Amino acid sequence: MESFAMPSDYEARYGEGIEHRRLTVLLDDASALIASEWQRKTGHPYAKGERPVFDDNVVAVCCGIVNRAAGSQCDFAGASQYTQTAGSYSASVTLANPSGDMYMTRSERRRLGLSGPRIGSVSPYAEPAEDQLAGGR
């Protein structure tokens, strides 16, 4: 599958700072996540041009997912809260995504047209038992 966004798309939005090879892999991973959300919602693989709203917004959403995942790389990666004190001064940091998970926000799903309910049905029909097929009670 081809990525929805290129490293140049990401760098135009968020600047440089991620090694090119890592950025390419993260964009591929984010694209796979978006494509799986598309298939979960529509029931078939992504086809360019099927939904113009999706096509108009997918690059920005892909870059946003990568920015959240890449933004967690710091000296205290994995921390959910960090406090530092020196004398009477203190600083506290809580990371929004300390483990670098890739996920789509509700607004991103809405932006791509992938939010909202799905309609489906389940048939209540059950196969008749063996004795009912033979005419027995």
- Name the CA radius of gyration of the chain, rounded: 23
Q: Cα dihedral angle (131, 132, 136, 137), rounded to 10 degrees? A: 100
pLDDT, tens digit (0-9, with 9 covering 90-100), for 34-90: 999 999 999 999 999 999 999 999 999 999 999 998 875 555 555 666 788 888 888
pTM, to two decimals: 0.71
Q: Which amino acid is present at 105?
A: T
The residues spanned by each domain of the chain are: 7-73+99-117
Q: Is 90 exceeded by the pLDDT of residue 121?
A: no
